[in-house]
Amino acid sequence: MPDGIGGAERRRVTLDEVARDAGVSRSTVSLVLRDSPLVAEGTRERVRASMEALGYVYNRGAANLRASRTNTVGLLVCDVSNPFFAELTAGIDEVLDGAGVSTFLVNTNESPEKQERSLQRMREQNVDGVILCPASGSSPDLVERLRRWGMPLVQALRYVSARDGDYAGSDYQLGMEMITEHLIRLGHRRIALVGGNLVHSALSDRRTGFTNAMRRHGLAPDLIVRSPLNRRASAEAVGALLDRADPPTAAIGFNDIVAFGMMLGLTDRGLEAGCDFAVAGFDDVPEAALSRPALTTVSTLPFQIGQEAAQLLLRRIVDPNGSPERVILPTRLIIRESCGAAPRRERGLTRG
């Protein structure tokens, strides 16, 4: 029995065999593989034909061992099933795949330990670089350690230290200032900021923006509610706010999901966002335009952040000692109905 049941155990065709078949040397075949301009047109065709005929499959593992680059990178996100990270992932995939780079994905679940293990593993895999959304509670020397490893690193969406290393994200602080200013302009004086129970830059940047805008108008930024980023908790949070002795008249969600949850909480009390209470979101997910009332929010473009992060990493891999870049995409205020500013949409489907 030459082959075992099933016969799947085919031996791999190597460069040497292709070379023999084409009547050239292994080195020449290698050059053809890498599209080197050194090899003559006729030879190239002959080699290509042999590869085809023998069913040659390139062995990246073997190449990686010798070559300096592996054309692989690591991507560590905190929670893929959060649509925001998922969009980011899609943007990254688009750019990296286009550049012929394969991506190792890890879902850290906000666990610094899993993040640590995964980074170590990425290093063992010899990836050319890493894109990291640091888990809440990441050690602050993380960037420095990766630098010592000689491992190109781009942080995305969040950063461990505001002054260190490459980063791609949105201007959360400015975005939050804009939406807060918008509410103040509409006459609100008691405004709450709801959502977020972990510690990371994306949260503190928003808090800073909120606090800055409030203080600028002599208002107290005292209604900051720490709560999980889901609908139910947010609905409960808005209820607690309304039960206060000094209830707010408006609330900004950490993100759109929180805002939707708050609208739900209002509905359950017989109140309506945009009429009885102003609700604002953050991120502008597709659903924001389609909620009733449509959500006033701030767009943050996670897909584009992903693209930027990937491009930045590719640059850093080529030029490891270039000076760090911080790509901050602008945010945009999207005024719809939930803060009561825009005219009520008439019945029927209009563009949100």
Partner DNA sequence: GAGCAGTTTTGGATCGATCCAATATTTCCA
Partner DNA sequence: TGGAAATATTGGATCGATCCAAAACTGCTC
User: Binding to DNA by residue 65, rule CB under 7 A?
Assistant: yes
Q: Scanning the structure block, which residue is given the tokens 């992932």?
A: 89
Q: What is the CA radius of gyration of the chain?
A: 26
User: Binding to DNA by residue 318, rule CB under 7 A?
Assistant: no
Which of 239, 281, 237 minimizes the C-alpha distance to 260? 281
CB of 208 to a second copy, least distance (A): 29
16 contact choice in a second copy, DNA, none (CB below 5 to 8 Å, kind-dependent): DNA
5-64 positions binding DNA, by CB under 7 A: 11-12, 14-16, 24-28, 30-31, 33-34, 37-40, 42-43, 56-59, 62-63
User: Binding to DNA by residue 66, rule CB under 7 A?
Assistant: yes
CB of 264 to DNA, least distance (A): 54
* Cα distance between residue 73 and residue 95, in whole Å: 12
- Per DSSP, helices labelled H in the chain are 15-22, 26-33, 41-54, 60-66, 83-98, 112-125, 142-149, 172-185, 201-216, 231-242, 256-268, 302-318
- Contact residues toward a second copy (CB under 8 A) are 4-6, 8-10, 57-62, 64-65, 70, 72, 75, 79-83, 86-87, 89-90, 93-94, 97, 102-107, 114, 118, 121, 123-126, 147, 150, 230-232, 235-236, 239, 261, 264-265, 267-270, 286-287, 290, 292, 303, 320-321, 347-349
Nearer to a second copy, 62 or 199 (CB): 62
Structure tokens of 170?
């949105």
User: Binding to DNA by residue 123, rule CB under 7 A?
Assistant: no
Which of 232, 177, 182, 173 minimizes the C-alpha distance to 339? 182
CA atoms within 13 A on the CB side of 164: 15
37: CB partners within 8 A, 6+ apart: none
Nearer to a second copy, 244 or 292 (CB): 292
In what side-by-side order are the strands of the sheet with 224-225? Answer: 224-225, 191-194, 250-253, 278-280
51 contact choice in a second copy, DNA, none (CB below 5 to 8 Å, kind-dependent): none
User: Binding to DNA by residue 102, rule CB under 7 A?
Assistant: no
Q: Which residues bind DNA (CB under 7 A)?
A: 11-12, 14-16, 24-28, 30-31, 33-34, 37-40, 42-43, 56-59, 62-63, 65-68
